[in-house]
Amino acid sequence: MTTSKADVIYDVQDKPPLAMWFGLSFQHLFAMFGATVLVPILVGIDPAIALFSSGLGTLAHLTVTNYKIPAYMGSSFAYILAMQSLMKSDGIAAVAQGAIVGGLVYLLVAVIVKFVGKGWIDKVLPPIVVGPIVMVIGLSLAGTAVNDAMNRNGVYNLTFLIISLVTLFSVLAFNMFGKGLTSLIPILLGIIVGYLFTLVVQQLTGMSIISFADIAHKPWFEVPRFDILGVDYAFKLYPSAILTMAPIAFVTMTEHFGHLMVLNSLTGQDYFKDPGLERTLTGDGFAQIIAGVFGAPPVTSYGENIGVMAITKIHSVYVIAGAAVFAVVLSFIGKISALIHSIPTPVIGGVSIALFGVIASSGLKILVENKVDFDDKRNLLIASVILVSGIGGLTLNIAGVAISGVAFSTILGILMHLLLPKE
């Protein structure tokens, strides 16, 4: 993916003319929009808050890294299952606390990296641990995706299934046959196609699926419904939230390293040296803490961002900053928030089938690219235990404090790798 400097239209520190800057930043946000708002919809959080924290978190990351890295922070899919479970048991306060603690884990690792280096990370999280964990993240959400795709209020509905399949194949078509930017925003375009198809189905069948009443009543300007610690709820310790979400931070960290390597290749820089891995981790950590403070899903650096940069040959941090500002501004437009809320369940289900499958396949890709040998009994056992415990939802519950799913399988995987003999 290396780009010749001669091919680059705007390099990392280049500032486009104002009109061009406006258009490029909006195009960039357009590519991030679909995935960023999908996570809060799946969890039950106001998408406007996710947009706000995505923009603010990106600006924080840019500031911490001295505006040297063109990275965009969007809602993380790795935490979905943990957030869904916490929302049912303890509510948004627990999710927020888990997000903040995840950010603190990043800050702690940043301090260790500064003084010790990063070699220990590869020893704790090798491909045989990370690959199956990423597969668990995708596969453990399969039931949610399929339920949304074919059930209406818990009952099988053929119309819902048809809508979800039209949405799914739209995503696949845009991904496979789209050109340029179109191929980079298949989620957003799939949602649009699914939404329009649902309107046609609703008109033909008379079935009530989408309502515009809320959109009509919403004002153009509306402050997002933030859930702020100390303002909207009092502090209370949620050990389950901390123990469930903190281990997942180590998984998203490996994603962070991967994105940095691709950015190094794309821009011809070495971000591990300047501004340094400790600063990039600190930027991610502060972005996650900001998300937690406002009651939004945790954020992570987005691969979509790298794809847009590779296609457009525009690497400018100013374009990224502009996209972040637009995200914050859009979060205050009430009708946008209401429109997002009106997206029908089967459309979300169709998109989710593709998206969660891609996440699971990414874990498989890690194993293949690193040539993990499954004739080695040790590797076979580690992967097997992680997959079954994670997808099955194996739970450690002591005195009301629960660790389950991705978090528990992550801990088990790390322990097995450290304790099982290599021969």
* Tens-place pLDDT, residues 218-237: 899 999 988 887 787 878 88
Instruction: Using a pLDDT cut of 70, give the percent of the chain over it.
Output: 98
Cβ 6 vs Cβ 268: under 8 Å: no
In terms of Cα–Cα distance, which of 267, 389, 283, 387 is closest to 1?
267
| 126 cis-preceded (ω within 30 degrees of 0) | no
Kindly give, in sequence order, each residue whose CB lies less than 8 Å from that of residue 375, ignoring residues fewer than 6 positions away.
Answer: none
Locate all alpha helices (DSSP H) within 178-294, ordered by sequence.
Answer: 186-205, 213-217, 239-267, 277-294
User: For each of the chain's 423 residues, which pLDDT tens digit applies?
Assistant: 445 565 788 888 999 898 889 888 987 888 788 888 889 998 999 999 999 999 999 999 999 999 999 999 999 988 998 999 899 988 999 999 999 999 999 999 999 999 988 788 878 889 999 899 989 988 988 888 899 999 998 899 999 999 999 999 998 998 888 887 777 778 888 889 999 999 999 999 988 899 888 888 889 999 998 888 778 787 888 998 999 999 999 888 888 888 888 888 888 888 988 999 999 999 999 999 999 999 999 999 887 788 788 878 889 999 999 999 999 999 999 998 888 888 899 998 998 898 888 888 888 988 998 999 999 999 999 999 999 999 998 988 887 777 878 889 989 999 999 999 887
From CA 284, how far away is CA 307, in angstroms rounded?
19
Q: Using alpha carbons, list the distances in angstroms from residue 133 to 78, 127, 139, 244, 405.
A: 10, 10, 10, 14, 10
CA atoms within 13 A on the CB side of 267: 28
Pairing relationship of beta strands 299-301 and 73-75 according to DSSP bridges: antiparallel
Residue 315: strand, helix, or coil: coil
Residue 93: strand, helix, or coil: helix
Locate all alpha helices (DSSP H) within 295-333, ordered by sequence.
Answer: 303-312, 317-330
From CA 145, how far away is CA 42, in angstroms rounded?
9
In terms of Cα–Cα distance, which of 340, 65, 327, 53 is closest to 195?
340
Cβ 131 vs Cβ 372: under 8 Å: yes
From CA 315, how far away is CA 160, in angstroms rounded?
41
Q: What is the pLDDT of residues 89-127, one digit of tens each?
A: 889 999 999 999 999 999 999 999 999 887 888 788 899
In terms of Cα–Cα distance, which of 65, 11, 63, 2 is closest to 271?
65
The C-alpha angle 319, 321, 322, rounded to 5 degrees, equals 65
The pLDDT of residue 400: 73
Q: Phi, psi (5° rounding) for residue 395?
A: -125, 135
From CA 409, how far away is CA 418, in angstroms rounded?
14
The pLDDT of residue 1: 47
The pLDDT of residue 3: 53
Q: Phi, psi (5° rounding) for residue 397?
A: -125, 110
Residue 68: strand, helix, or coil: coil
Dihedral of alpha carbons 289, 292, 294, 297, sign: positive
The C-alpha angle 312, 354, 242, rounded to 5 degrees, equals 95
Within its chain, how far is the Cα of 245 from the centroid? 14
Neighbours of 278 (CB within 10 A): 18
From CA 232, how far away is CA 292, in angstroms rounded?
13
Residue 107: strand, helix, or coil: helix
Identity of residue 388: V
Question: In the structure encoding, which two tokens stand for residue 228, read together?
Answer: 């702020």
